[in-house]
Amino acid sequence: MAIQQFLQSISSRSRRFLSRARRISLVLALVLGWSLSLGWGLSQVGGAQEAERAIAATPPANTVEIGTVDVVPTQLQLGQRLYFQNCSGCHFAPPPEVMPLQSWAAILQTPQHYGTVITPLQDPARRIMWNYVRASSRSIVQNETVPSRFSQSRYMRALHPGVDLPEPLSFGSCISCHPAAIDFNFRRLSPEWQARE
């Protein structure tokens, strides 16, 4: 009788152990299944975002045909149009990249414009144009003199590596190499420079 009770006791413990082991196995299987499902779902979302980023980073097929120095994001295109309209009335509008940000701040805020008195833009047009110029330009380094003309700008020289820029540098000298500059197209070069490419 004692042996029977002992065997029943072991059998009862085994059943409880097996029951507990089954519950633990079930919980682990559920956690594993949930984790795999969550990981797969997140990878699908991440893959979609990665694909969107890759598409956004891919330049359009007609990059050479854009005319300007760089592709202008949609949210800055109105600023570019305002810039072109306001600057090209007297001279061609140079790309904002040729001057530092501090030079553009002075140019856009002062009525004295290289010997001519102009009416400075008012908000919101001034802010819209400023956002475009700011996105395309860079700041000067500390203790650097703010150039007032693009002929004094190190950015102008940096954008023209290997080019002996004429002295004095003027809008006319820009047009001699960039004949479509009047249309804000700085990618089309004169035949002499096209042959060098």
Tens digit of pLDDT at every position of the chain (197 positions): 666 666 566 666 666 665 676 778 777 777 777 777 777 666 666 555 555 554 444 444 444 455 666 788 899 999 999 988 888 777 888 888 889 999 888 888 888 877 788 888 888 988 999 999 999 888 888 888 998 888 888 888 888 888 888 888 888 888 888 998 888 888 888 888 877 76
29 and 86 together in one domain:
no
One domain, residues 119 and 145: yes
| pLDDT number for residue 63 | 43
Same structural domain for residues 126 and 29?
no
Residue 20 sits in the same domain as residue 79: no
Q: State residue 43's pLDDT score.
A: 67
Please indicate, yes or no, whether residues 183 and 98 belong to a single structural domain of this protein: yes
CB 139 within 8 A of CB 100: yes
**Beta bridge partners of residue 117, listed in sequence order:** 112
**115 lies in the same domain as 161:** yes
Q: Indicate whether this model's pTM tops 0.75.
A: no
Shortest CA distance to 88 belongs to which of 187, 181, 196?
Answer: 181
- Output the CA torsion sign for 57, 62, 63, 68: negative
- The count of domains in the chain is 2
Tell me the residue range of the domain where 28 lies: 1-58
Same domain, 172 and 77: yes
